[in-house]
């Protein structure tokens, strides 16, 4: 009825979504330590990238059915606020943030790092928890570039859930070169099958761009490329690549590229 | 103007033209502005703080000062609560804190490890001694650390 009441409901939904998407990270130890250990420049770049990413995402799945740039920006900012507040409150409740720490760079780093996935969750909540089905407006926009953007967000989002953990490095150390190549093959295969063969609900009708080969080259390969790029970026942000031999960095990227590829493939499902 | 027929057809997807939406309630609700403003302030704070720190923050390796806060006699020894403060420009991980208590020539060494001490931040812990640290001389220092991340 009242526009404010409608918006308040959307805002509550956003909190719900933020909670749903970010609590695994909020309850992961590495996120806390990384929050203070991440190099400041990398954290700054990460935060600066988060904002346009949120605006772009808002264009697809904002918690209001909007079209105008002003509203996308407003939605993105509100989502960031929701994510930040949620992360701050929960981290404080979990005893991660002590009272005197909130205003130091360590405390702020912890909150800011967790705020980003929470903000994504807040934005997605509009669609995930809302009554709207996949609207007609999405299909209009499914150009190759927007497709790639969605894949990138999906990849980053899923990869972010595991990227901070020590296990990524450990798995990379445990795997030999052949296992790495096998993982590459599995990732690409899964990406292709998930996107173009299984027909998950919520997927837009896939434009099977002609035959298998064309689909593979035109969609699957760029998708995997984006997934690897996102993996490498996240590893770099978290300082996992510093001083590590090139082949280990490659292995780590492939390891993280596995969840990233699944994220890219299911971006339509999640995002 | 002629009123639109009140049908509940949710199928406006005929043409992706610009004006396919009826645009209910043109204005943006005040709450939307408010929450966006809160978000803007928080984002600006996070980004500004981080940028300021990246540009003008302290440089150099961790420099950890350890000081005694309080000594409490317990049934299981004297607990000396100590606090480590990192004055340096980098966070330190696995910080080893050592306390050497000298009483009349006799020495006792205690220690513990702190997971992380961020730059400009403090962390605390306790050293346990058999004799009262207040009766002798207590030397406190950080003996080593690993680079964080």
Taking alpha carbons only, the member of A122, A73, A140 closest to residue B21 is A140
Tens digits of per-residue pLDDT, A89-104? Answer: 999 999 888 767 767 7
Q: Return the bridge partners of B97, or none.
A: B112, B142
What mean pLDDT comes out for the span A96-116?
82
With CB atoms and an 8 Å threshold, state whether A101 touches B33. no
Cα separation of A245 and A264, whole Å? 27
**C-alpha dihedral, A168 to A219 to A188 to A146, nearest 10°:** 20
Asked if A43 is an interface residue toward chain B (Cβ–Cβ < 8 A), one would say yes
| Locus of tokens 């761009």 | A209
Q: How far is A35 from chain B (nearest CA, A)?
A: 10
Asked if B124 is an interface residue toward chain A (Cβ–Cβ < 8 A), one would say no
In the predicted model, is pLDDT for residue A79 greater than 50? yes
Residue B62 pLDDT level (bands cut at 50, 70, 90): very high
Tens digits of per-residue pLDDT, B98-130? Answer: 999 999 888 999 999 998 888 888 889 999 999
**C-alpha dihedral, A46 to A47 to A50 to A52, nearest 10°:** -110
pLDDT at residue A231, as a whole number? 95
Asked if A67 is an interface residue toward chain B (Cβ–Cβ < 8 A), one would say yes
Residue A243 pLDDT level (bands cut at 50, 70, 90): confident
| Chains A–B, number of C-beta pairs less than 8 Å apart | 130
Q: What is the edge-to-edge ordering of all strands in the sheet holding B92-103?
A: B106-117, B92-103, B137-147
More confident residue, B81 or A131: B81
With CB atoms and an 8 Å threshold, state whether B121 touches A80. no
What pTM, to 2 d.p., does this model score? 0.79
Residue A73 pLDDT level (bands cut at 50, 70, 90): confident
The phi and psi torsions of B120 (rounded to 5 degrees) equal: 70, 15
Asked if A104 is an interface residue toward chain B (Cβ–Cβ < 8 A), one would say yes
pLDDT at residue A136, as a whole number? 40
With CB atoms and an 8 Å threshold, state whether A140 touches B16. yes
Report CA A49 to chain centroid distance, whole Å: 12
With CB atoms and an 8 Å threshold, state whether B32 touches A8. no
In the predicted model, is pLDDT for residue B45 greater than 70? yes
- Model ipTM over 0.85: no
Taking alpha carbons only, the member of A143, A126, A122, A144 closest to residue A134 is A126
Which of B30, B50, B91 is facing A37, going by the closest CB pair?
Answer: B91
CATH superfamily label, B64-147: Lipoprotein YajI-like (2.60.40.1620)
Q: Which chain B residue's Cα is nearest to A111?
A: B46
Contacts 24+ apart (CB under 8 A), A56-62: A56/A149, A56/A153, A57/A120, A57/A123, A57/A124, A57/A153, A57/A271, A58/A123, A59/A141, A60/A138, A60/A141, A60/A146, A60/A150, A60/A271, A61/A123, A61/A124, A61/A126, A61/A127, A61/A271, A62/A123, A62/A126
Is residue A104 a contact partner of residue B49, using CB atoms and an 8 Å limit? no
Q: Where are the domains of chain A?
A: 1-133, 141-271
Which H, E and C letters describe A159-219, residue by residue? HHHHCCCCHHHHHHHHCCHHHHHHHHHHHHHHHHHHHHCCCCCCCCCCCCCCCHHHHHHHH
């Amino acid at each position: 009825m009242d526009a404010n009441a409608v918006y308040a409901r959307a805002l509550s939904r956003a909190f719900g979504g933020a909670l749903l998407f970010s609590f695994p990270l909020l309850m992961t130890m590495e996120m806390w330590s990384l929050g203070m250990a991440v190099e400041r420049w990398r954290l700054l770049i990460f935060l600066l990238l988060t904002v346009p990413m949120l605006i772009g995402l808002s264009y697809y799945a904002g918690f209001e059915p909007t079209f105008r740039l002003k509203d996308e920006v407003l939605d993105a900012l509100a989502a960031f606020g929701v994510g930040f507040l949620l992360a701050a409150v929960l981290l404080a409740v979990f005893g991660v943030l002590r009272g005197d720490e909130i205003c130091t760079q360590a405390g702020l780093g912890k909150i800011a790092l967790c705020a980003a996935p929470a903000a994504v969750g807040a934005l997605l909540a509009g669609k995930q928890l809302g009554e709207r089905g996949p609207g007609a407006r999405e299909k209009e926009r499914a150009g190759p570039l927007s497709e790639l953007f969605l894949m990138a967000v999906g990849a980053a989002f899923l990869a972010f859930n595991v990227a901070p953990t020590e296990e990524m490095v450990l798995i990379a150390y445990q795997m030999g070169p052949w296992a790495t190549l096998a993982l590459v093959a599995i990732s690409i295969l899964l990406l292709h099958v998930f996107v173009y063969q299984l027909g998950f609900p919520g997927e837009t009708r896939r434009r099977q761009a002609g035959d298998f080969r064309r689909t593979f080259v035109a969609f699957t390969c760029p998708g995997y490329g984006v997934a690897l790029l996102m993996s490498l970026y996240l590893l770099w942000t978290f300082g996992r690549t510093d001083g590590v031999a090139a082949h280990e960095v490659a292995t780590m990227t492939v390891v993280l590229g596995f969840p990233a590829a699944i994220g890219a493939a299911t971006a339509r499902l999640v995002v | 103007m002629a009123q639109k027929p009140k049908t509940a057809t949710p199928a406006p997807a005929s043409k992706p033209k610009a004006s396919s939406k009826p645009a209910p309630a043109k204005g943006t609700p005040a709450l939307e502005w408010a929450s966006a403003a809160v978000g803007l302030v928080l984002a600006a704070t996070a980004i500004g703080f981080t940028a300021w720190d990246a540009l003008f923050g302290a440089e150099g390796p961790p420099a950890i000062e350890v000081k005694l806060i309080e000594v409490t006699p317990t049934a299981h020894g004297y607990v000396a609560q100590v606090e480590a403060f990192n004055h340096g420009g980098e966070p330190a991980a696995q910080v080893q804190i050592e306390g050497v208590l000298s009483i009349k020539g006799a020495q006792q060494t205690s220690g513990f490890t702190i997971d992380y001490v961020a730059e400009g931040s403090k962390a605390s812990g306790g050293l346990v001694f058999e004799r009262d640290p207040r009766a002798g001389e207590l030397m406190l220092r950080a003996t080593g650390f690993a680079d964080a991340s």
